[in-house]
Amino acid sequence: MLSVLNNLLEFLETYYVIIISFNTILILILFILLISVNRNFKKFKFKYNKIMEEAKEKSVEKMLCDIFNYTNETSLKNKELEYKLNKIEKNLQHCVQKVGVVRYNAFEGVGSELSYAVALLDNNDDGVVINGIYARESSTTYAKPIKGGNSKHALSAEEIQAIDIARRAKYQDRSTIKN
């Protein structure tokens, strides 16, 4: 028995610095954990006290019912807004989203490219192409319906070019553009 105690004493004398260091580190870790738990407890206690102050005026059961009612109302409003948004997005498909403009000289000797072709298309490439032809003595405007990027009416080269420009144009959602 005495030899075991001597061995233990010799072990402690050899490694006492390591043992004390380990214990010190362990105590520091436990102290940091205690501070963290105390901070979280204070936050919880603050929230708890705030709820209990409101509970003095009305019961916790009434408060929970109010919260559930508010949540249900909010959910219904969100569904209504989602329905309206879907309806708007569906209608937006039929609004003018693509524009192509071509200026040109319809007749020799009449400069400054005063004639024009404008294509106004929706998301499905449906819309209209408007062609304004300027001459020295007169000005004429034509409008031709466009369906799927084509027309059942004969199109001039400038009208075809305006439609092609419009079809390549992409609608830019302004909410995603960063300043």
Clarify whether residues 158 and 111 are in a common domain: yes
What pLDDT was estimated at residue 173?
A: 53
In-domain check, residue 50: no
In-domain check, residue 34: no
Domain count, the chain: 2
Clarify whether residues 78 and 117 are in a common domain: no
Q: Which domain holds residue 83?
A: 57-92
CB 144 within 8 A of CB 151: yes
What pLDDT was estimated at residue 174?
A: 45
Clarify whether residues 124 and 63 are in a common domain: no
In-domain check, residue 137: yes
| Dihedrals phi, psi of 44, to nearest 5 degrees | -60, -40
| Count of Cβ atoms closer than 10 Å to residue 56 Cβ | 7
In-domain check, residue 121: yes
In-domain check, residue 25: no
Clarify whether residues 106 and 144 are in a common domain: yes
20 has a pLDDT exceeding 60: yes
CB 100 within 8 A of CB 169: yes
Clarify whether residues 66 and 119 are in a common domain: no
In-domain check, residue 2: no
Q: Which amino acid is at 98?
A: K
Clarify whether residues 161 and 112 are in a common domain: yes
**CA dist., res. 157 & res. 166, Å (int):** 14
In-domain check, residue 6: no
CB 90 within 8 A of CB 164: no
CB 128 within 8 A of CB 118: no
pLDDT tens column, 66-93: 889 999 999 999 999 999 999 999 998 8
pLDDT tens column, 120-161: 999 999 999 999 999 888 899 999 999 999 999 999 999 999
| Dihedrals phi, psi of 99, to nearest 5 degrees | -130, 135
Given 41, 67, 92, which residue is the final one in a domain? Answer: 92
3-class secondary structure, 131? strand
What pLDDT was estimated at residue 13?
A: 78
Three-point CA angle 74, 69, 51, nearest 5°: 105
In-domain check, residue 43: no
Cα distance between the two ends of the chain = 83
**Closest to 48 in 3D by CA, of 36, 60, 38:** 60
**Closest to 139 in 3D by CA, of 162, 116, 119, 159:** 116
**Largest interatomic CA distance in the chain:** 129
178 has a pLDDT exceeding 60: no
51 has a pLDDT exceeding 80: no
What pLDDT was estimated at residue 172?
A: 57
Clarify whether residues 149 and 103 are in a common domain: yes
Instruction: Give percent of the chain above pLDDT 90.
Output: 56
User: Residue range 39-46: average pLDDT?
Assistant: 91
Among 12-16, 43-47, 55-59, 77-81, the least confident range = 55-59
